[in-house]
Structure 1
């Protein structure tokens, strides 16, 4: 039995009871590190706005491909078209879609601040994650003029709210508990297949061993007894069906000498007596 797989199953059981969530790495990097960011207050707010809008576009692109019924709705397509026009009208596409480098110049921060005034209105019937992100952008827009000390407190609260929102619908990408349940079920199926496979191997090994012992008792030498035992085993397990018919391979033992050696070894090991050399 695969001990590593059993341990993995135990880990899954523990994780399922710890209320896990599945988060996007992009979503976790929306807010830059304040101490390491060599930026002004306005630059930091602009970076967060840019990252939020990038994440929204990323979600929209994913849902457009994954959920045709929702993404092909008139409201969604109309809003997506308006957002595309917004990104292209001032040649700001590269500015908003740059997720790797957190840094912004003063002029770029000013362009983002000015651009937020012209964001397309969000219709009521767009997916909820769009309205959630746009709500954070609205709150951020009011922070551009805050003094540094007030901004730190405001951003702290905003980041805490954002991280909490990622753990709830509609910002959850997929239920982590459901995913772990699927993984647990698959792990259990694999373990069950291994157990059933081992059980069959032991049964076949025992059967071969009985044939082998019978021929030894009849006075055959070791090699002859093994050869005759293999012949008896093959007769007891003929391969049925034609090439056009399905053969139940998982429940069909192998006839090769190496296969029978493997079954015999497994059986003898279960008895605690495996010869140093066991050859068919």
Structure 2
């Protein structure tokens, strides 16, 4: 299977390449560094590949898609460009179905925060346990690698002193919000407040729910999530977590996604929590999982589970 990673030098591209290195079922098409921005060289590689993975800014990803004229080339796009496009399949196989991913030629890789939020909310909305018209809020924190090379350099430079915790997207229009709303089938966009912590990788996504937002108990919510993800080797619903806190590094270095339902039985309040690696199931790991499914391989091949 011939694979070309367009944007292989970026943070997500490097993560994907690392997971593919040494595999005998994948042949990587590469372009010399001095020709990476040569449109002719890129077009040749894009059309020679069985599967292309785009690790590019949105506009560059759209341009790359326009360069593909080979009708047999399939695409996994890790940018935001096509995540709500009707003619693209959302690359969350545990949500849309493995068969839908396998049958598609255009896959949009989910965003990292979106993966945690949608994994928690979508099955519960579908089951009627979260009111679809409730104004949901979402709090989340990521390692600084989620900001790409520029933010990594900022945090790791000897001359800089970045804060331990930095909230951002203060205009309440983070680029992940449209896919969070669309793929969870919500009537209103969630109020999303992300932050960056002074650590390289890891992610926690929280969706706090008052009793009036849900129909059912915490036990029913946990059971519904467990039923939805039953048999998955990538997504796990944790029912017996008994630690005092959940660190953002919980799944750093893993391609797994852990889901939790915490509750105060007296008040009926629930906190849905997802833990993942922003570079794993939140980016490179998800892209490799989709690649495996498109290639007809075991979805977990090369994943760190």
Shared fold, TM over 0.5: no
State the structure with bigger RCO (CA 8 A, min sep 6), 1 or 2: 1
Greater per-residue helix proportion: 1
TM-score, normalised via structure 2 length: 0.21
Structure number with the higher strand fraction is 2
When normalised by structure 1's length, the TM-score is: 0.23
